[in-house]
A and B are shown apart, each in its own frame.
Chain A
Amino acid sequence: MSSLTFADVTVSYGKRQVLSGFNASIASGEWLGLIGPNGAGKSSLLRAAVGLVAHGGVVSVDGSSLSLRSRSQRAALLAYVPQSPILPTDMTCRDYVLLGRAPHVSYFGRESKHDRAMVDDVLTQLDLSSFRDRYLGELSGGEAQRIVIARALATEAPVLLLDEPTSALDIGHQQQALELVSTLQREHGLTVVSAMHDLTLAGLYSDRLALMHEGNVVAMGSATEVLEADRLAEFYGVRVTVHHEPDGTVVVVPRRS
């Protein structure tokens, strides 16, 4: 259970600034959805948070800055699911999920019995026990996504960062993966930040949305507040109709011009 704060976070590649002063406080157990067209800075923000790209400003967990922490301390706080995770085809699911324990193992150490038991626990929780000895190369897209989430969960990090977690999945598996994250958010009190392309799904699962454009946040708030047809037209350059369902769901439907 941890809160995550971005204070004036900037990222530049060479002279080009791709993220200009991102500010947000994500409460413990909250899910923030990052939306915006390609190149808006969503992935850069996530990569900055986990230390893959240099950044200005401060990212802190529970009020303490991550830049003061070691790599493994940072890894124990933030679990990161990249857009296209590398899945070595000849690695077993169990060995892959065991990699998630790395932040808790010392440099010359090896995984303890506890670490291995933890992996079996995670696999059971995610209904993946039967996959233990299967090779990653044998998994379908949906199964692979669940194994990647299992690895993130095995880190026991209180904050989960997902970069386009469903971009390679069909609609059924998209929903399944997001339901899984949602369950984990509820049951483990995980704080979640996800970059997403599907606006309807983003609004459906996130507690709050941040719409980004060219490195800036142009709107932040609930799905109803952020997902307005005019605004989406302005920043995505598309024509859409926004429906509000009786249960509060906001549905974004593209239209032909």
Chain B
Amino acid sequence: MTTGQRTAAWLLGATVLLMVSLLAGAMFGPAGPPPWRVPLAIIDRLPLISIDSGVSDAQWNLIWTIRFPRVVLAALVGGMLSLGGASYQGVFRNPLVDPYLLGAAAGAGLGATIAILHLRDVTDWPVDPTPLLAFVLSLATVAATYTVGAAFGGNRTGATLVLAGVAMVSLTTAAQTYVLQRNSEVVREVYTWILGRLVNASWADIRLVAPYVILTTVILLFHARHLDLFRVGDDEAATLGAPVARIRLIVVMAATLGTAAVVSVSGLIGFVGLIVPHIVRLLAGASYRLVLPLSLLLGASFLILVDILGRIAIAPSELPIGVVTAFIGAPFFIYLLRTKRVAV
């Protein structure tokens, strides 16, 4: 197989898996019709086709307004975090980096905490204040990290940025912990938010985050070639004509925008952004031209499937999705490390 055919085969396979995952996500859940009737109901809704699916309008309503938004949101969040993680890893040439490195998650956590504490009773805002404040503080934290890192970084912006990130994350997390300690009555609510949730997903959430995810995805996929150049280091990339600092800024800005958007509605779902890109590398090789699109597609499928498990494992209650991602992802990752060539 040529490289082109191999790429096409992987992308096709990952797309099919995503379709299957989306369908599975719509099929399973508490209440509702028997799972096997759901595909029939979907076919029935297609234009020009009418079959008897045995799904009542009320049941369809449940699938459409509760299950579908949840699956689609899981896909957007999983895809975005994985793509963002892969991009961050590329731009910092560091395999242990996730999209939360420069403070996107810590900022969102602080924003959500403040919103839950002070803006809980606000009802006259056009949008829910919690995701809004999480989004704004997430972006602000990364912007502060970048300003500090770039100001003192000189020629070594990559390494300095990572250190600036460590400092900003500590600072922001400390601020959040302090606020929580002073207001212990909201601890449970804040932690529920932090552990990640897709339970109350609605089409409105999707309309909120989809534009950012789409914009981010387009920008990042266009930079796959540049990320391959970054693999030989900043200096060599520069001598090959790459505007290293500008590429890093654009990639970080794009990845942060998408990450901030999804965490503001889903909470801090961990692990996905770190683990999925590595699974992709172990399976399909380390070229970013394949790692980026495959992380997007497989990350989306991964989170949908994990979410299904989370809702049926201890039904009728649910496991927090952030916990399930770690429980599923870690063993699978260890299995891959054992059986495949280790690539970093």
Q: Chain A: residues with CB nearer than 8 A to chain B?
A: 50-52, 70-76, 78, 80, 82, 85-91, 95-96, 99-100, 102-103, 105, 108, 110-111, 155
Contact = CB atoms under 8 A, between A and B. Distances in A.
A51 B236 contact: no
Given A80-B239, A91-B231, 7 more contacts: A72-B241, A73-B241, A88-B231, A91-B286, A102-B225, A103-B240, A111-B225
B236 A75 contact: no
Contact of B235 (A52, A74, A95, A108): A52
B147 to A, nearest CB: 22
A110 B225 contact: yes
Contact of B239 (A51, A96, A105, A110): A51
Interface in B233-263: 233, 235-236, 238-243
Chief secondary structure at chain B's binding surface: loop
A3 B164 CA distance: 44
Interface of B: 222, 225, 228-229, 231-233, 235-236, 238-243, 281, 285-287, 341, 343-344
A199 to B, nearest CB: 27
Contacts of A72: 241
A75 B231 contact: no
Given A82-B236, A105-B225, A108-B222, A95 B287 contact: yes
A52 B242 CA distance: 12
Given A88-B286, A90-B343, A99-B228, A82 B240 contact: no
10 contacts: A70-B241, A71-B238, A78-B239, A82-B235, A86-B231, A86-B233, A90-B285, A102-B229, A102-B242, A110-B225
A73 B240 CA distance: 10
A71 B232 contact: no
Given A86-B232, A102-B229, A110-B225, A50 B239 contact: yes
B241 A76 contact: yes
A102 B241 contact: yes
Nearest to A76: B241
A6 B343 CA distance: 43
A52 B238 contact: yes
A88 B242 contact: no
Contacts of B241: 70-76, 102-103
A125 B223 CA distance: 31
A155 B238 CA distance: 13
Contacts of B343: 89-90
A95 B288 CA distance: 11
